[in-house]
Amino acid sequence: MHDNMEIPVGPQHPALKEPASFRLSLSGEKIMQASVRLGYNHRGIEKACEERTYIQDLYLIERICGICSHAHSTAFAQAVEEIAGVNLPKRAAYIRTLVGELERIHSHLLWLGVAGHEIGFDTLLMYTWADREIVMDILANVTGNRVNYGINSLGGVRRDISPEQVRQIAKAMDALEERTKYYIELASVETTLINRLSGVGVMSKKDVLRLGTVGPTARASGVARDVRKDDPYAAYAEINFNVVTDNHNDIYGRTIVRLGELMESFNIIRQVIKNLPDGPIAVKVARKIPSGEAVSRYEAPRGEDLHYVKANGTESPERVKVRAPTLANIQSVAFMLEDRYLADMPIVVAAIDPCFSCTDRSIAIKDAEGKGKKKKIVDWESLRLHGIEWYSKQGIDFTALNKRFKR
């Protein structure tokens, strides 16, 4: 154990819920160097958006992320609405805010459970996820699905809220608030939890600004950055809430921030259902969107989500670009891992609440020329032709199969 030991964490590892590769250089239990590699989850969503209509894109974009799906679909819808020059009805803006905050609650409760699991505290996982069911049931009731809600349409929302649902939400908020208070109490007294979280993944305010992290990761280091406040969208301009910050600078601080944001979310939801304006829930938007481009920002539970849409006057966008919050945060992970214990690795990665499939917008080609081996970069069409040729050499003919699938 004198030399540094190279240990691979990922692409498949129990600590990771999605594929990503971390290579840790260990000396004993200490991490000397860490490198992050993404790109295992590239799905080509941006390109696929260009081939579909705006209506279809809304559902595709929503599936970038399973947890913050409303964040992505709202950000996309906002960009398209801006290009089309549509004024969102007030009631629609309020319902979007409501669903967005319900989503934040479910995401933060989920994070708390995952964080518990990563530090070997499965009981916390079981309890928080049981509480999360309350908000999942409400989301299913209000929007129709537990995840990938499909509540947004271009120009508004697809489902209205009944007074009965409002009553149920108010009741659930009370129940959840009581539970959240218990978790805040737990986080402030449970010794083992504090020992595992505080002093781990330390990132000073200066580092946060240098590495450009967003969301709770940045707010835990005292950077009060929140799109809901800085550039209000939906109904946030009319709602009174605080940006929760903390100056612990470590994972304990990030836990406190997320718990505090839960309390703020309850507060926001109460204001939304109290001041829910009457009126239509959607306006009609033409299928063809005029040429133009727009950038839209949204404060997802994990941080700032950024969408860029370019329209060319047809039914499909010319270009869609997504910058998910994890992309902004992932650079800080390698920095936080260095000179820490191996045991802290899962929680440091989990603390930015990573979503690798959201982040994987491109494939990094490593070592393109190769060393000694024959490697070359081919384009899509020649790869396809190569595949057909290769298989026909093996005596396999796909023409019949292709016909069957109407290709």
Q: CA-CA distance, 264 to 391, in Å (whole number)?
A: 58
**Closer residue to other proteins (CB): 86 or 136:** 136
- Residue 296 forms beta bridges with which residues? 307
Q: Which of 4, 15, 160, 310 binds other proteins (CB under 8 A)?
A: 15
DSSP 11-43: SS-TT-SS--EEEEEEETTEEEEEEEE--TT--
**Closer residue to other proteins (CB): 140 or 170:** 140
| Dihedral pair phi/psi, residue 32, rounded to 5° | -90, -40
CB-CB contact of 296 with 61 (8 Å): no
CA Rg, the chain, in Å?
A: 23
Region near other proteins per CB under 8 A, out of 8-16, 90-98, 103-111, 367-375 = 8-16
Sole residue written with tokens 């603390």: 351
Q: Which of 50, 343, 388, 398 binds other proteins (CB under 8 A)?
A: 343
Q: Does 283 bind other proteins (CB under 8 A)?
A: no
DSSP 344: G
**Closer residue to other proteins (CB): 28 or 212:** 28
Q: Does 119 bind other proteins (CB under 8 A)?
A: yes
**Smallest distance, Å, CB 16 to other proteins?**
9
Region near other proteins per CB under 8 A, out of 13-21, 206-214, 331-339, 382-390 = 13-21
Q: CA-CA distance, 74 to 307, in Å (whole number)?
A: 10
Q: CA-CA distance, 362 to 365, in Å (whole number)?
A: 9
Region near other proteins per CB under 8 A, out of 24-32, 77-85, 100-108, 301-309 = 24-32
Q: Which of 196, 219, 248, 307 binds other proteins (CB under 8 A)?
A: 196
For residue 386, how many other CB atoms are within 10 A of its CB? 11
**Smallest distance, Å, CB 288 to other proteins?**
13
Q: Does 13 bind other proteins (CB under 8 A)?
A: yes
**Smallest distance, Å, CB 120 to other proteins?**
3
- Closest by CA position to 75, among listed 299, 261, 266, 253: 299
Burial 299-310 (b: 16+ CB within 10 A, else e): bbbbbbbbbbbb
Q: Does 6 bind other proteins (CB under 8 A)?
A: yes
Q: Does 345 bind other proteins (CB under 8 A)?
A: yes
Q: Does 4 bind other proteins (CB under 8 A)?
A: no
Q: Does 41 bind other proteins (CB under 8 A)?
A: no
- Site residues for other proteins, 135-174, by CB under 8 A, read 137, 140-142, 144-146, 148, 150, 153, 158
Q: Does 339 bind other proteins (CB under 8 A)?
A: no
Q: Which of 14, 163, 372, 395 binds other proteins (CB under 8 A)?
A: 14
Q: Which residue type, as a one-letter code, is found at position 78?
A: Q
DSSP 286: -
- Closest by CA position to 281, among listed 404, 161, 364: 161
Residues interacting with other proteins, by CB under 8 A? 1, 5-8, 13-15, 26, 28-29, 52-53, 55-56, 58-60, 63, 116-124, 126-127, 130, 133, 137, 140-142, 144-146, 148, 150, 153, 158, 182, 185-186, 188-196, 341-346
